[in-house]
Amino acid sequence: VLTEDVQAYVKSELARPRGEGGGPGFNLPPLQPVDFAKFGPVTTQPLSRIKKLSGGFLHRNWVSIPHITQQDEADITELEAFRKSQADEAKKSGTKITMLGFLVKAVVVALKQFPEFNASLSADGESLVLKGYFHIGVAVDTPNGLVVPVIRDADRKGLLDIAKELGEVSTRMRSGKIAPVDLQGGCFSISSLGGIGGTFFTPIINAPEVAILGVGKAVMKPVWNGKEFAPRLMLPLSLSYDHRVVDGALGARFISHLASVLTDIRRLVL
């Protein structure tokens, strides 16, 4: 290896495009265009505006945030019994008392206990901006793609008000009436697929938030209570967090606390 080789290498490295934040780019081979029609019949559908927009943001967040996903199960047997017992009462006031309402309230309790989760990195990455408000984003599946409207001041709203607002906002999102303000200012997001199915998954953090909770479908499982296996309704939780802000120990504490609040909902009022 001659001096000129080293100089040429350094020169070519300096000329190479850099990734975000000054680190090296991925330098991956480009995906070659494929003529799928060569292999069978195909049709082409343009991506919706929402899909095109959210695709860029999801990709950016996935590659620029070091994600960890921590999973746990919450025993929601009592919560579900209580929810069912209140269903008729809620119906009288024209509301459905939803699981998502409990999740929003439980997340607020956990955010109060662990303020690092209710925070964002400053633009220069040098400090953490801790928020004194509790605005919770909820992923809503619409015919045109995924949107995350924000329930503002969830700490100051009751469970039924949150459930009602969620119902109204998701209907509005699905009919395409989305104002930018609906999607701004979130502190933490919840993506619930529990009404559809599946257990654990890897939710992508909704930057500049630092964590997101993925919720799967609750199922009855035999759980050992020290003497015997008892049937308990178990809710799968998947918490993705930004490892630049949250360490593994804190992540485990957050999800354990959240699960304990869902297990004993009296903790919601502590």
Q: In the bound complex, what is the minimum distance in angstroms from residue 75's beta carbon to ligand CAO?
A: 13
**Using the rule CB under 6 A, is 77 a contact of ligand CAO?**
no
* Contact of 245 with 56, CB cutoff 8 Å: no
Distance, CA of 270 to CA of 267 (rounded, Å)? 5
Considering the complex, state which of residue 110 and residue 193 has its C-beta at the smaller distance from ligand CAO: 193
- The distance in angstroms from the start CA to the end CA of the chain is 69
Question: In 3-state terms, what secondary structure has residue 270?
Answer: coil
Considering the complex, state which of residue 116 and residue 187 has its C-beta at the smaller distance from ligand CAO: 187
Q: Nearest to ligand CAO by Cβ — which residue?
A: 194
Scanning 175-183, 215-223, 246-254, 262-270 for contacts with ligand CAO by CB under 6 A, the matching segment is 215-223
Q: In the bound complex, what is the minimum distance in angstroms from residue 197's beta carbon to ligand CAO?
A: 9
**Using the rule CB under 6 A, is 199 a contact of ligand CAO?**
no
Contacts of 270 (CB under 8 A, 6+ apart): 109
Instruction: Residue 111: count other Cβ atoms within 10 Å of its Cβ.
Output: 23
Binding positions for ligand CAO, 177-196, rule CB under 6 A: 191-195
Of 210, 237, 201, which Cα lies nearest the Cα of 67? 210
* Contact of 14 with 25, CB cutoff 8 Å: no
**Using the rule CB under 6 A, is 74 a contact of ligand CAO?**
no
Q: In the bound complex, what is the minimum distance in angstroms from residue 166's beta carbon to ligand CAO?
A: 7
Distance, CA of 4 to CA of 14 (rounded, Å)? 15
Of 268, 20, 26, which Cα lies nearest the Cα of 159? 268
Considering the complex, state which of residue 99 and residue 151 has its C-beta at the smaller distance from ligand CAO: 99
Of 14, 53, 20, which Cα lies nearest the Cα of 144? 53
Widest pairwise Cα distance in the chain: 84
Scanning 5-13, 95-103, 114-122, 261-269 for contacts with ligand CAO by CB under 6 A, the matching segment is 95-103
Scanning 22-30, 137-145, 221-229, 253-261 for contacts with ligand CAO by CB under 6 A, the matching segment is 137-145
Q: Which two tokens stand for residue 225?
A: 């209570």
Considering the complex, state which of residue 61 and residue 191 has its C-beta at the smaller distance from ligand CAO: 191
243: annotated active-site residue: yes
Would you give the binding string for ligand CAO spanning residues 98-117, x where CB under 6 A is met?
A: xxx-----------------
Contacts of 87 (CB under 8 A, 6+ apart): 96, 97
**Using the rule CB under 6 A, is 149 a contact of ligand CAO?**
no
Of 138, 119, 76, which Cα lies nearest the Cα of 254? 119
Q: In the bound complex, what is the minimum distance in angstroms from residue 118's beta carbon to ligand CAO?
A: 21
Q: Which two tokens stand for residue 123?
A: 């633009």
Rule CB under 6 A: choose which of 218, 258, 259, 265 binds ligand CAO: 218
As annotated, the active-site residues are 243
- The residues binding ligand CAO (CB under 6 A) are 98-100, 138-141, 146, 170, 191-195, 215, 217-218, 235
